[in-house]
Structure 1
Amino acid sequence: MQKFIGTGVALVTPFKSDFSVDVEALERIVKFNIEGGINYLVVLGTTAEAATLTKEEKELVKSTVKKANNNTLPLVLGVGGNNTMEIVHQLQTEDLSGFDAILSVSPYYNKPTQEGIYQHFKMIAAHSPLPVIIYNVPGRTSSNMLPATVIRLANDCDSIIGIKEAAGDIVQAMQLIKDRPEGFLVISGDDMITLPMVLAGGDGVISVIGEGFPHAFSKMVQLGLERKADEAYQIHYQLSDSINMIFEQGNPAGIKEVFKALNLSENTLRLPLVPVNSDLSNRITQFVKEFKN
């Protein structure tokens, strides 16, 4: 799955001030990322506030991204949840045309055992018409998908091609890289440790900050893949303050403030999420103004 090596970005869903989906802003953001050198786009993930979108709005987002992308970059669709059979039904009935893979988060709230997580993804893999990237993000799911479970899935399910690993634990990431079967992708889901993961043998990132600074962040990842560590770390440290800032008051409030500063979209979120406060807004705006992308 060479198309998923490098920098993918988890697209936001921009909203107008009346909270409706801002189609024009979404088109601008897609084109901004294509022009910035991003390798692939992830649609309707957590960063897209997918939990607050209606079925009709999700279809609107999908069609808007596909149209703006115009078959330029590979597309990954977020299809996850904590009801295994509902996900299976979605995979069997939803129009997945134009997408190259799905990204499916480990079940949240239910807090399954490792065996439950394994059986959940085994069921999804058996019914998905597209390759599957599994997603470990303990900070959101309340359970950590352990390396042994991931490697078991990688060995047992041909359609599971990789993991977005967002435990924020470089030691766990290195364990995955060491033990994975050949060709299985280990993709960072944590912007701050993306470069260390890539230099340790990882395959890239599905990023949030990358969609705000696509040229710089994708260049950093590419330099890391080329083992040009010193040059890559130069960019990492240039961006590190912005990574801290965009997550300081939650995602995607921070990255939407970046887009506001770039005049690409408004910083409107749907409850229970709210925009960043004025202090953080000023700091993000100043960073965007001064950063040389």
Structure 2
Amino acid sequence: MKKFKGTGVALVTPFTEDGSIDYPALERVIEHVIHGNVEYLVVQGTTGESATLSETEKSEVLRFIKKINRQRLPIVYGLGGNNTQAILDTMNAIDFSEIDAILSVSPYYNKPSQEGIAAHYEAIADHCPVPVILYNVPGRTMSNINYKTTLRLAKHPNIIGIKEASGNLDQCMRIAKNKPEDFLLLSGDDMTTIFMRSIGAEGVISVLANAYPEIIGSIIHGNASYSKKGTFSLLEINPLMYEESNPVGVKCLMEKLGLCSDYVRLPLLRASEDLKSRIDLAANNVNSRHFYSPHLD
């Protein structure tokens, strides 16, 4: 499980003006985050706009990332939804070579009971050829995985951790207190990572690591001073990443940094001029060059 400690970057999917996938930009992003010392890549999560990519596009993106990555970093693949059987069917069509785990979001929209959530994940974990990381993000799914369900699922031999993005620190503390030692508690929100780390979280799956991998590394790996410095440096820019929905904000920031364009797919729209100007201003006050690198110790 050591390969999933530290920073996982929730990769964006860059697009061109006509909405097609911008593979040269995707290569730039991959090299940027690898050289920024992230520990693993998370492919086709929410930040990758998986909801608006076809199955063919998802397969092509995964194939391309494997090619560029050249097994330098582990890959976690996003595979979740609210139709359990459809996930199992999709699983049968995926090439799992060079995929080290899947990240599976809790069922959304149909709002299952805790028993239903547990049965859903048990079916996925029983069928999946690689380990499963749970993903709890009630702000999107409108359904929370409570700590008792997480602890129940933590006993499954093929469920290795949870990306916790509930913002409920009491819930996270109860998981941290009672989980098996080898079950990973991962932060799902950049700005609560410092708190999550203090109670035992061993990593983060990050949006802002697309732009600032070194800063996120300083938060999760650095001493208390570096962790605070990294967190405080993102206080102004972080909320702007979500004001018009993720990944609108981070793509706008990445365009400023020369990594990719800010194009997104409908129903999302590119950042408004007002948001763009505020992201530009906030970014001018962020300097990622003077942060701790976990690989320099």
Q: For 2:182 and 2:221, locate their aligned partners in 1 and report how far apart those are by CA, in whole Å.
A: 18
Percent identity at matched positions?
A: 47
Q: For 2:100 and 2:259, locate their aligned partners in 1 and report how far apart those are by CA, in whole Å.
A: 26
Q: After superposition, what is the alpha-carbon deviation per residue over 1:54-74, rounded to whole angstroms, capped at 9, x for unaligned?
A: 111111210121112111111
2:274 maps to: 279
Q: After superposition, what is the alpha-carbon deviation per residue over 1:200-257, rounded to whole angstroms, capped at 9, x for unaligned?
A: 111110010121101111122111xxxx223210111011211111112210000000
2:208 maps to: 209
Tell me, yes or no, if the aligned pair for 2:193 and 2:219 is still in contact at 8 Å: no
Paired letter, 1:271: L
Tell me, yes or no, if the aligned pair for 2:255 and 2:261 is still in contact at 8 Å: yes
1:251 maps to: 246
Q: After superposition, what is the alpha-carbon deviation per residue over 1:177-220, rounded to whole angstroms, capped at 9, x for unaligned?
A: 11101100000111110111011111110010121101111122
Residue 248 of structure 1: SS of its match in structure 2?
coil
Paired letter, 2:35: E
Shift of 1:90: 1.6
Q: How do residues 113-128 of structure 1 correspond to structure 2 at under 5 angstroms?
A: 113-128=113-128
Residue 104 (structure 2) pairs with residue 104 (structure 1): yes
Shift of 1:286: 2.7
Residue 284 of structure 2: SS of its match in structure 1?
helix
Paired letter, 2:250: I
Paired letter, 1:241: E
**Coordinate RMSD, CA, aligned:** 1.0
Residue 236 of structure 2: SS of its match in structure 1?
helix
Shift of 1:27: 0.6
Q: How do residues 258-273 of structure 1 correspond to structure 2 at under 5 angstroms?
A: 258-273=253-268
Tell me, yes or no, if the aligned pair for 1:199 and 1:229 is still in contact at 8 Å: no
2:234 maps to: 239
Q: For 1:182 and 1:214, locate their aligned partners in 2 and report how far apart those are by CA, in whole Å.
A: 27
Q: For 1:268 and 1:87, locate their aligned partners in 2 and report how far apart those are by CA, in whole Å.
A: 28
Q: How do residues 182-221 of structure 1 correspond to structure 2 at under 5 angstroms?
A: 182-221=181-220
Count of paired positions:
288
1:76 maps to: 76
Q: For 2:226 and 2:71, locate their aligned partners in 1 and report how far apart those are by CA, in whole Å.
A: 32
Q: Which runs of 5+ in 2 are unaligned?
A: 289-297
Residue 187 of structure 1: SS of its match in structure 2?
strand
Give runs of ≥4 in structure 1 deviating > 3 Å.
Answer: none
Residue 9 of structure 1: SS of its match in structure 2?
strand
Q: Greater CA deviation, 272-281 or 11-20?
A: 272-281
Paired letter, 1:87: I
Residue 225 (structure 2) pairs with residue 230 (structure 1): yes
Paired letter, 1:123: A
2:284 maps to: 289
Tell me, yes or no, if the aligned pair for 1:191 and 1:208 is still in contact at 8 Å: yes
Tell me, yes or no, if the aligned pair for 1:168 and 1:193 is still in contact at 8 Å: yes
Residue 104 of structure 1: SS of its match in structure 2?
strand
Q: How do residues 18-57 of structure 1 correspond to structure 2 at under 5 angstroms?
A: 18-57=18-57
Q: For 2:282 and 2:111, locate their aligned partners in 1 and report how far apart those are by CA, in whole Å.
A: 39
Q: Which runs of 5+ in 1 are unaligned?
A: none
Q: For 1:285 and 1:62, locate their aligned partners in 2 and report how far apart those are by CA, in whole Å.
A: 31
Residue 5 (structure 2) pairs with residue 10 (structure 1): no
Residue 164 (structure 2) pairs with residue 165 (structure 1): yes
Q: After superposition, what is the alpha-carbon deviation per residue over 1:132-179, rounded to whole angstroms, capped at 9, x for unaligned?
A: 001001011111000000100111x10000000010111211111111
Q: How do residues 79-98 of structure 1 correspond to structure 2 at under 5 angstroms?
A: 79-98=79-98
Tell me, yes or no, if the aligned pair for 1:92 and 1:127 is still in contact at 8 Å: no
